[in-house]
């Protein structure tokens, strides 16, 4: 089913919601950003209009309020946080139009540098549509291109789209390009489903992860294309029950568990299932990364029915992760009898099944 077809179905769906569930006292279900002052010419700052439209949506007494971002428009947004909790436990965003970031770093003056667009404390959020979120990341990458990453550090720049404490989250059909740093971050969320996404940035763009997952559970990422300059998907500490299926990854650094244990941290990841994925011209395929000196475990991880095409390093389990190459040997407190030397992370009960490799290490 094409994205346009899905969007048409969703449009019919929200029309039915609008007709059948007007909410308390006849309140409207639809909140179009154009009705709150948005211009949509790609030049005018529409941040205030989006904030007003979101506030009206979030505070609506309707059971199914819908924020509408209309097609054939380009909305320029400075850093914006869409905060909850909302009155309804079923919030919908119909994203047919496109969103672009400012073309100058000065737009972040007075804002947190870590985020551009963020949803926080919004349960029952569904975002669907064929619209594009364009981070215009090149102005951030230039400073990072020759940057030597310190231990546990990253290049500076905002995450393009952040979800924090958003349970019951759905993101479907959207396109994400050229993020300033990572494209999408899921933090402290439960019951998340992403599907039919298209995420892309040049292979030379630094730290432009596709999807980062941290401290989250019951996350599904399905049937999507991700090609960036870093990890297609990265699974960080505190995450469990992660299902990744039908991902076309490349270029990039593959699907990673970690890195875990930086700065002596106690990090854990478990119950990860990666299935029916293809890695095409990636630097790495599937990997588990742990730092020296940390403690914790990465366990019950399954990579199944994986295809590698011209991948430089299809499988890596690195328990001495040190991207800067300057780390001294450290001994941690947790040892596993199944490992040798001074590895202190337990990497166990992990499986690689039905792997196909084509023209590897070209």
DSSP string, 305-338: EEEEES-SEEEEEESS--TTS-PPP---S---TT
Q: How far is CA 314 from the centre of its chain?
A: 22
Coil, helix or strand for 15?
Answer: helix
Identify which of 52-56, 108-112, 272-276 has the greatest average pLDDT: 52-56
Range 294-311 average pLDDT: 88
Give the pLDDT confidence score for residue 147 in this predicted structure: 46
Q: What is the pLDDT of residues 81-119, one digit of tens each?
A: 999 999 999 999 999 999 999 999 999 998 888 999 999
**Cα gap 239→236, rounded to integer Å:** 6
Rounded to whole angstroms, how far apart are CA atoms 134 and 181? 12
**Is pLDDT larger for residue 335 or for residue 263?**
263
Whether residue 171 has pLDDT greater than 50: yes
pLDDT of residue 353: 60
pLDDT at residue number 10: 54
- Catalytic residue of the set 176, 198, 253, 263: 253
pLDDT of the residue at 264: 80
21, 27, 32, 35: CA torsion to nearest 10: 160
Domains of the chain and any CATH numbers: 3-358 (2.160.20.10)
Distance between first and last Cα of the chain: 35
Mean pLDDT of 262-288: 91
298 pLDDT tier (thresholds 50, 70, 90): confident
H-helix or E-strand spanning residue 79: none
Query: 164, 255, 245: which is closest to 209 by C-alpha?
Result: 255
Is the pLDDT at 217 greater than 50, yes or no? yes
Q: What is the pTM of this model?
A: 0.87
Q: Which of 175, 157, 206 has its CA nearest to residue 100?
A: 175
Active site residue 253: yes
Q: How confident is the model at residue 358 (pLDDT cuts 50, 70, 90)?
A: low
Residue 209: what pLDDT? Answer: 97
Q: What is the pLDDT of residues 220-267, one digit of tens each?
A: 999 999 999 999 999 999 999 999 999 999 999 999 998 888 888 889
Contact residues for 316 (Cβ-Cβ < 8 A; gap 6+): 284, 285, 286, 287, 288, 289
Q: Taking 80 as the threshold, does the pLDDT of residue 14 lie above it? A: no
């Amino acid at each position: 089913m094409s994205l346009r077809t899905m969007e048409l179905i969703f449009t019919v769906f929200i029309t039915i919601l609008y007709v059948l569930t007007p909410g308390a006292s006849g309140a409207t279900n639809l909140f179009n950003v154009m009705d709150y002052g948005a211009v949509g010419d790609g030049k005018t700052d529409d941040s205030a209009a989006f904030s007003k439209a979101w506030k009206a949506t979030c505070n609506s007494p309707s059971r199914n309020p819908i924020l509408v971002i209309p097609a054939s428009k380009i909305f320029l947004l400075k850093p914006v946080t869409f905060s909850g909790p909302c009155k309804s436990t079923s919030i919908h965003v119909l994203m047919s139009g496109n969103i672009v970031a400012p073309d100058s770093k000065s737009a972040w003056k007075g804002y947190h540098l870590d985020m551009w667009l963020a949803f926080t404390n919004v349960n029952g959020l569904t975002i669907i549509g064929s619209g594009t979120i364009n981070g215009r990341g090149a102005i951030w990458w230039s400073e990072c291109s020759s940057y030597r990453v310190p231990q546990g550090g990253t290049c500076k720049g905002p995450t393009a789209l952040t979800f924090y404490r958003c349970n019951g989250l759905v993101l479907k059909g959207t396109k994400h390009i050229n993020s300033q740093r990572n494209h999408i971050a899921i933090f402290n969320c439960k019951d998340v489903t992403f599907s039919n996404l298209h995420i892309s940035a040049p292979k030379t763009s630094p730290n432009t992860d596709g999807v980062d997952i941290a401290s989250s559970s019951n996350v599904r990422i399905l049937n999507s294309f991700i090609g960036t300059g870093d990890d297609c998907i990265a699974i960080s500490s505190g995450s469990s029950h992660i299902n990744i299926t039908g991902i076309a990854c490349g270029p990039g650094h593959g699907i990673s568990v970690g890195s875990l244990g930086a700065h002596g941290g106690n990090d854990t990841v478990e119950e990860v299932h990666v299935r029916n994925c293809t890695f095409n011209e990636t630097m790495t395929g599937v990997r588990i990364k742990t730092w020296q000196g940390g403690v914790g475990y990465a366990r019950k991880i399954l990579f199944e029915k994986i295809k590698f095409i011209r991948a430089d390093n299809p499988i890596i389990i690195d328990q001495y992760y040190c991207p800067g190459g300057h780390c001294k040997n450290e001994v941690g407190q947790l040892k596993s009898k199944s490992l040798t030397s001074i590895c202190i992370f337990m990497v166990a009960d992990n499986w690689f099944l039905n792997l196909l490799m084509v023209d590897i290490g070209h």
